Structure 1
Amino acid sequence: MIQFKIQSFAYRDFDSWCLPWDYHCLYILENGYQIYIGETKEVIRRSKEHCMPSDFCNQFHFKTAYVITSEDFEETPVKHYEDLLIRLMRADGKFEVVNQKNGEWTHYKRKNLFEISFDQLWLKLESLGLVNEKHFQSILNTGMYKYCPDTMNVTQAQHEALTSIIHTIDSGETFPYNDQRFLARPILIEGDAGTGKTVVATTLFYYLKTHPKYKNLKIGLVYSNPAMRNVIQQVFAHTPGLRKNDVIAPIDVTKHRYDLIICDEAQRLRQAKNIGRYMVHFKKGNERLHLDNSHDELDWLLLNADRLILFYDPKQIVCPSDVSQIKFDKRLKDRKRGIRPIALKEQMRIHAGSQYVPYIYDILFQKNNISKKFANYDFKLFSNFRDMWDALEENEAAAKLCRFCSGYGWPWISKEDSKKPDIWLGNHGIWWNRQTDGWLQNPEAKLEMGSVYSLAGLDLNYAAVIIGPDLIYDLTDQRIKVDRQNYFDNKVKHGVTDEELTTFLLNTYAVLMTRGILGTYVYACDPNLHRYLQRFIPSV
C-alpha cells in the first residue's frame, strides 16, 4: 500500500513550506469555492508561477495549498492521480474545479497498486473537507462522472468515430448536391446498447460548442426520452462552456432553425400514434413547420436543421409511438437524400463483452440454440425471487446503482392509492418507480421497479430483470408470446397486433437486460418461460 502525506500551507507564505521529499507531488489550490489541481516536481517554484499576473490561476486568489507527497511517487502515477482527481472532484461538486483540461491518461506497470491506494487518499481528502462523498465509488455511478464531456477519456474506437464525424462536417458532405433535386445527407451512427453512443454524442457536442471554428453555429443536442434528457441537462449545467438549455426536446427544434442538430437515442423519436396528451404539442410542432400530422419528430429534425447527426439503434424501438425502422430507413435512405454511415462496435458498458447484446436478442427472439458463458460477468437466472432480492440488496450495499426493472405485467395500483404496492412477488410488495427524473439517484427508490421509460439509455451496475406475466412461453407452438390480458401499458398495446406487441415487448426486455455493467439477474414469472431460459442462462 502506498503511504501518502498531505500538508496544508498558507498559499503565498512559501518560506514556511517544508516538504519531506523532493519527488514528484500533487497539489490542490483552494479559495473556499474553487480549486485547481496540479502536479510538479518543484511545487514551490510552480506555486510562485501561479501567483504571476499572467498566470491563469492568479485570478482566483487561492488561500490554501494542499501538497500530497509520497516517497513512492514518480511522474507517471502522479499524472494518473491528477487526472483522477480532476474528474472525480469535478463530479463530486464540493468545489468548482477550474482546471481547463484533464490530466494525462497514463499506463504503467504499478497502476493497479496505485489505484488500490487511491481509496486511502480519497478518504484523507474527505476528512480535510475537500470532497463531499466519503467513498469515491459513489461518484462513479453519477451522470456527471459518466457523461461530463470535458473530463471524458474516450477510447481509440470512439476517437476514430469522432474524427470521422468532424471530418464529414468540415468537408461539406452533409449538404445537398448543387442539384436542387437532392436533400441534405444526415450522419447516421449505429451501435448496440453499450457501445458508447451517448459518450460520443456528448463529447462531439462539447467539441463543437467550445471550438472557435464553430462558435457562430446554433447547435442543439436532442433527447426524446425525458429521463435521459434530464441527466444530460444536469451534466451540462455544471460543465464549463455548456448550458442546461443546450439539451432540448424534439419539439424545441420546431421553434428555431438550427445550423446543426445532434440527436442521441434517435430510435425514440415519436410519430402520431398512441402518444396520449402529447398529441396537443405534437400538432403544434407540425403547425409551426406547416406540416400535417402524418409527419413526425424525425421530419422536424430533417426539415429544421441544416446538418443532422443521428445516433440510432433500431433494436431499442419499444412502442408504437417510436418511428418504425421501415419509416426511418425510407426517410433517410431515399436516393435523393442518403446517409453518411458510421458504426460503433466496441462494447463499453457491459463487462460481458461484445457478444452479450446479440446473445440476449437471439435468446428472446429464439434465434439461438447454443448456450454461451461470459467471463467476468454475473449473469444468472433465479428460480426463487427471494434469492434474487437478497442478491440485489447485497450488491446494492457493495456497488450501489442496482435496480429491479420489468415490462408492464402489473397494473399501476399505487397511482390511485400510494400505500398499496403495485406488484407482489412472494412476500415482497413492490411499487413502480414513483419518479422518472432522478430515479436512479434517489436512494429511497432502490427497491422500486423501474421500466424502459425510466432506464432507456442509462446504466446500472446490476439489473434485476423481472419478466412478468405479460410474457409467456407457449408449449404448443414453442414460441415466446405476449399475454395481452396481463399487459397493462395501454400506450403500447392499443391498436397493435399481437405480433407487433410481442416484438415491442421482446425489445423492451432486451433493453432492460442490457443495462447492467457488472451483472444481470433474471426472474421469469411464467414457469414455461423459466424452463426455456434455463437452456441459455446459468440457473441458481
Structure 2
Amino acid sequence: MSADPVSGAAYLHNASDDSVHALRTYPQDRSGQLFTALGRARFLDYLRSRLSPINADIHADRLLRSSFTSCKRLLSVAAEEFHGRPQFIFLNEQLVAFNLVLHEATKAQSVDHKSVVVISGGPGSGKSAVALSLLGELNLRGLIAAHVTGSRSFTQTLRRVISPQAPRVAALFKYFNQFIDAPENGLDVLIADEAHRLRKTSVNRWTRPELNTGKRQVDEIIDAARLSVFLLDQDQVVRPGETGTLEEIEDHARARGIPVSHVALDGQYRSGGDPEYVNWVDRLLGLTAGRPAPWTGNADFELKLASSPSALEAMLADRVVMGQSARIAAGYCWPWSDPLPDGSLVPDVRIGEWMHPWALKGDRSVGGAPPAALWASDDRGFGQVGTVYSAQGFDYEWSGVLVGPDLVWRNDDWVTVRQASMDPDFKNLRRVSDADFDVLVRNVYKVLLTRGLRGTILYSTDEETQEFLKTVVR
C-alpha cells in the first residue's frame, strides 16, 4: 500500500469520456483522480494500488456502512430558512409527532436502527407544517434529511418560497420517483409529505429497462433512509393509481421486520380551526355516515353560496382588495388549452356568460399569469381557475369552489357523471371503474372545499344541485 495515507478519486460510472471533457481540464494528481465508465479497469487498478488486502472485507464493510455529511453551509442555510417560524408553533398531537420523529432519528443514527413513522391527519391538521419544521430541525442537528412529495405544484412552490435566496436548499425538496435507484440508507431521514399520493411504482416510459424491477414506490422510500416519515390523509386520494394508505405502509414495513409508529393529528388549523366543518364536508359529500345537514355556522369561518359565478368572483375580489388571499377552483369539467401564440390564455371555463382560463400550463409565467404549479402561492393566480392538482396541499384565506357537472344532486343523493369529466386520468374505463370514479370525484371536491382558512364560497353549475345547496348553506 502507498505511504500516502489519504487520496481522492471520482468514479463517474454513468459518464462517457466525451460528456466530461471539461472536467479533464482540471489537474489530476495523487490527491485526486477522475474515472469514467470506460475507465473501470483503470479505476480497479487504482483501488488495488491504494488499499491493503489485509482484512479487506472488514474495512470494506465499515466503509459501506459509514455515513456522510452535507456541506455545513447548506445545513445552516436550511436551518435558518425553516427554524423558528411562528406559524410552526405546535400544539397537542403535532408536538407529539414532531418529538417522536426526532427521537427515532436520534436512535437510528446512534445504533444503526431502521424505522418508519406515519403521521396521519385530515385537511388543515398541520401535516406539512410538521414536515417542514422537521426538515429544518433535522438539518440543524447535522442529520441528512430530505423532503419528498408526489406533487409537482407542492414541490416547486416549496423550492420557490422556502429557498428563493438559497438555491442549494432546493435540493432538499425532491419527488417520490427520484429514489428508484437510491443507495440503501443514503439518508438519515426521508420525509414523505402528501404520502397519499404514493404510486404503485416509480417506473414510467422513460425508465431504463434495468431499473424496472417491479419494486414498489413505498419500498423505495423506506430503503432510501434509516428513518422514513410518511405524512398522509388517505381520504385525499384524487387520482387513479395513488396507493398511499396507513395499511399499505404498515404492511410493507412490517413484512421486512421494520417497526412502525403512528400518530394521528386530530386538531384543525384551517377552516377557522373548526374540525366540525371538515366533518360537515364529509357528510355533505357522502364520504362518512350521516345525511347532509345545514351548516350551523362558526364565528371564525364563513360558508356562503353564491348566486352566480360572477357573484362568487366579486365576493372573493372584495377580500383580495382587503389584502387577503383568495382563489377560485373547480372540478375538471372543461377542456384545458395551451396559451395562444400571442401569450393570452384561453377562457376554457365557461358558465353562461362568465368565462375564465384555467391555471397556466407549463413552467413559465405568461401574460402576467403564474404557471399552474405556483397558482396557489402566487398572488397573480387569482385571475385563473385552479384544478385539484393545483390546489392540493395548499391553503388560502378564501376559497371559491365551482361544483361542475361531474357531481350533481338527483333523487335525494349525489350522482357522479363520468361523461362530464375532462380529466384525462379518468378516461380509461379499465383503469378507473365507475365505483372508483365516484369516490375519486367526491374526494376531489373534499380537497377543494377544505382549502380556505377564513371561508368558502360555493356555486354549482347545475340548477338542481344549486337548489339543494340552498338547503344546507344558509
> Is the structural similarity TM-score above 0.5?
yes
Q: Does 1:315 align with 2:253?
A: no
Asked if 1 retains the 8 angstrom alpha-carbon contact of 2:121 and 2:264, the reply is: yes
Which residue of 2 is the match for residue 361 of structure 1? 282
Which residue of 2 is the match for residue 253 of structure 1? 179
Which residue of 2 is the match for residue 420 of structure 1? 346
SS in 2 for 1:437: helix
Which residues of 2 match residues 200-211 of structure 1 at below 5 A? 200-211=130-141
CA distance, structure 1, for counterparts of residue 249 and residue 454 of structure 2: 33
AA paired with 2:205? V
The 1:441–1:310 alpha-carbon spacing in structure 2 relative to 1, beyond 3 Å, is closer
**What is the CA distance between 1:430 and its match in structure 2?**
0.8
CA distance, structure 1, for counterparts of residue 77 and residue 173 of structure 2: 24
**What is the CA distance between 1:200 and its match in structure 2?**
0.7
The 1:339–1:463 alpha-carbon spacing in structure 2 relative to 1, beyond 3 Å, is same
**What is the CA distance between 1:534 and its match in structure 2?**
2.9
Deviations 1:22-51 (A, max 9, x none): xxxxxxxxxxxxxxxxxxxxxxxxxxxxxx
Q: Does 1:300 align with 2:225?
A: no
Asked if 1 retains the 8 angstrom alpha-carbon contact of 2:78 and 2:136, the reply is: no
**What is the CA distance between 1:167 and its match in structure 2?**
2.0
SS in 2 for 1:279: coil
The 1:162–1:533 alpha-carbon spacing in structure 2 relative to 1, beyond 3 Å, is same
CA distance, structure 1, for counterparts of residue 179 and residue 256 of structure 2: 25
In the superposition, the TM-score normalised over structure 1's length comes to 0.63
In the superposition, the TM-score normalised over structure 2's length comes to 0.72
CA distance, structure 1, for counterparts of residue 352 and residue 265 of structure 2: 42
Q: Does 1:399 align with 2:323?
A: yes
SS in 1 for 2:322: helix
**What is the CA distance between 1:254 and its match in structure 2?**
3.0
AA paired with 1:304? A
Give 5+ residue unaligned stretches, structure 1: 1-97, 103-143, 178-183
Asked if 2 retains the 8 angstrom alpha-carbon contact of 1:346 and 1:354, the reply is: yes
Structure showing greater relative contact order (alpha-carbon pairs closer than 8 Å, 6 or more residues apart):
2
The 1:317–1:441 alpha-carbon spacing in structure 2 relative to 1, beyond 3 Å, is closer
CA distance, structure 1, for counterparts of residue 472 and residue 109 of structure 2: 45
Which residue of 1 is the match for residue 297 of structure 2? 374
Which residues of 2 match residues 380-529 of structure 1 at below 5 A? 380-414=304-338, 420-434=346-360, 435-475=371-411, 478-494=412-428, 495-529=431-465
AA paired with 1:262? I
AA paired with 1:191? G
The 1:395–1:237 alpha-carbon spacing in structure 2 relative to 1, beyond 3 Å, is same
Asked if 2 retains the 8 angstrom alpha-carbon contact of 1:209 and 1:241, the reply is: no
Which residue of 2 is the match for residue 280 of structure 1? 205
CA distance, structure 2, for counterparts of residue 311 and residue 327 of structure 1: 13
Corresponding residue pairs, total: 376
Asked if 2 retains the 8 angstrom alpha-carbon contact of 1:388 and 1:521, the reply is: yes
CA distance, structure 1, for counterparts of residue 110 and residue 117 of structure 2: 7
CA distance, structure 1, for counterparts of residue 77 and residue 111 of structure 2: 37
CA distance, structure 1, for counterparts of residue 452 and residue 156 of structure 2: 20
Asked if 2 retains the 8 angstrom alpha-carbon contact of 1:462 and 1:516, the reply is: yes
* Structural RMSD (CA): 3.1
The 1:528–1:352 alpha-carbon spacing in structure 2 relative to 1, beyond 3 Å, is farther
AA paired with 1:521? I
CA distance, structure 1, for counterparts of residue 149 and residue 105 of structure 2: 21
CA distance, structure 1, for counterparts of residue 349 and residue 156 of structure 2: 27
Asked if 1 retains the 8 angstrom alpha-carbon contact of 2:250 and 2:260, the reply is: no
Asked if 1 retains the 8 angstrom alpha-carbon contact of 2:403 and 2:458, the reply is: yes
Give percent identity, aligned residues only: 22
Give 5+ residue unaligned stretches, structure 2: 1-75, 361-370
**What is the CA distance between 1:527 and its match in structure 2?**
2.3
